[in-house]
Amino acid sequence: MTYNSIVLVKQVPDTANISGDVMKPDGTVNRAKLPAIFNPEDKVALELALQVKDQYGGKVTAVTMGPPKAAELLKECLYMGADEVVLVTDRKFAGADTLATSYVLNKVIEKIGNYDIVFAGRQAIDGDTAQVGPQTAEKLGLPQITYAEKILELNNGKIKVQRLIDGGYEILASKLPALLTVIKEASVPRPFAAKRVMAFKNYVPRHLTTEDLDVDLERCGLFGSPTKVYNIESVVLSAGDHENVEPSKEGLGQLIDKLMNDHIFG
């Protein structure tokens, strides 16, 4: 039996490497200055989908919702081995929170159809919410397995998955179709295949807009998002009232005395 997968991937600003000049004086972020990367856990999710395909056969479709620039990400999916890619892009989708995002993704997944497993990353590093996967599963009426770290078995329309839990792990078996959110430790994404890079270098991914999808515009984008950003403050550090301690024998000795007097030590 073969299994078809849909993988939800997102292009994210590389928040780990933010430098000062990325912040505008008004405290907002200058996105143009941030390098955009493949959300790390989504890449692992794609890797798992490709492994399922390698072992059982089937098709892997990668989907992203984002600005036209996110097409770069989809090309990387093709380089890794995805069979099809879909770019969901429309001004009307902009400003979506996780609820509005999951609404659109669920419509896209329905449109693609004929899937057994939907893969998502556990969370995207820009927001770190880990909400879009489960919210999409709920909308599709699918069971979910979050924090998936290993697919143990696929058999007879059932999937057995090891997932991380507080202080350990558990093994769950779910009927398919199901949605999995994948953690970074699950696998190491394969490198791009040179042949595929050549083949898809100038590929233009298929676009879907509001016109192609059966969506209620009131539930899309900023308008369809119940949560709104009310205020943003850039984090300005206070100078702080600290005491300077000389890294010398005397300096450290005095500090230790103080902490002993405060009953922190001893």
Partner 1 sequence: MNKLSHEVWVYIEKKQNNIADVSLELLSKGRKLADKLNGTLKSVIIGHDLERLAKETFNYGAEEAIVVDHVDLKEYKTMPYSRVFSELVKKHQPRIVLFGATFIGRDIAPRVASNTLSGLTADCTDLQISDVSYMKKEYPKLLLQIRPAFGGNIVATIITPDNPVQMASVREGVMQMVPLAKPVNGKISKVPYQAEEIDKVIEIIERHQEECKVNLKCAPIIVAGGYGMGSKENFKLLKELADLIGGEIAGSRAAVDAGFVEHERQVGQTGVTVRPKLYIAAGISGAIQHRAGMDESNKIIAINSDPDAPIFGVCHYKILGNAMEIIPAFIEAYKNKLK
Ligand X SMILES: Nc1ncnc2c1ncn2[C@@H]1O[C@H](COP(=O)(O)O)[C@@H](O)[C@H]1O
* Amino acid occupying residue 126: D
DSSP state of 29: B
174's contact among ligand X, ligand FAD, partner 1, none, with CB below 5 to 8 A by partner kind, is partner 1
Residue closest to ligand X (Cβ): 121
Please work out the total of residues on this chain that contact ligand X, with binding judged by CB under 6 A: 24
Q: Where does residue 99 rank: exposed (0-12), middle (13-18), buried (19+ CB within 10 A)?
A: middle
Count Cβ neighbours within 10 Å for each residue of 11-23 and write b for 16 or more, e otherwise. Answer: bbbeeeeeeeebe
Binding mask 119-138 for ligand FAD (x = CB under 6 A): ------x--x----------
Which residues are bridge partners to 205 per DSSP? Answer: none
Q: Does residue 123 interact with ligand X by CB under 6 A?
A: yes
Q: Which is nearer to partner 1, 188 or 265 (CB)?
A: 265
Instruction: Tell me which residues in 100-119 interact with ligand X (CB under 6 A).
Output: 101, 105
Q: Does residue 121 interact with ligand X by CB under 6 A?
A: yes
13's contact among ligand X, ligand FAD, partner 1, none, with CB below 5 to 8 A by partner kind, is partner 1
Q: Which is nearer to partner 1, 166 or 214 (CB)?
A: 166
Q: Which is nearer to partner 1, 194 or 239 (CB)?
A: 239
d(CA 92, CA 96): 9
Helix axes 98-112, 132-140, angle to 10 degrees: 50
Instruction: Tell me which residues in 242-261 interact with ligand FAD (CB under 6 A).
Output: none
d(CA 189, CA 180): 17
Q: Which residues does 264 contact at the CB level (< 8 Å), separation at least 6?
A: none
Q: Does residue 34 interact with ligand FAD by CB under 6 A?
A: no
Q: How far is the CB of 202 from partner 1 (least distance, A)?
A: 33
Q: Which is nearer to ligand X, 4 or 98 (CB)?
A: 98
Q: Which is nearer to partner 1, 55 or 261 (CB)?
A: 261
Q: Is 215 helix (H, G, I), strand (E, B) or coil?
A: coil
d(CA 203, CA 221): 27
- Helical (H) or strand (E) element with 175: strand 168-175
Q: Which is nearer to ligand FAD, 18 or 213 (CB)?
A: 18
Instruction: Tell me which residues in 36-55 interact with ligand X (CB under 6 A).
Output: 39, 41-42
Binding mask 10-29 for partner 1 (x = CB under 8 A): ---x-xx-x---xx---xxx
Q: Does residue 120 interact with ligand X by CB under 6 A?
A: yes
Q: Is 47 helix (H, G, I), strand (E, B) or coil?
A: helix
Instruction: Tell me which residues in 131-170 interact with ligand X (CB under 6 A).
Output: 131-133
Q: Which residues does 55 contact at the CB level (< 8 Å), separation at least 6?
A: 154
**Binding footprint of ligand FAD on the chain (CB under 6 A):** 15-16, 125, 128
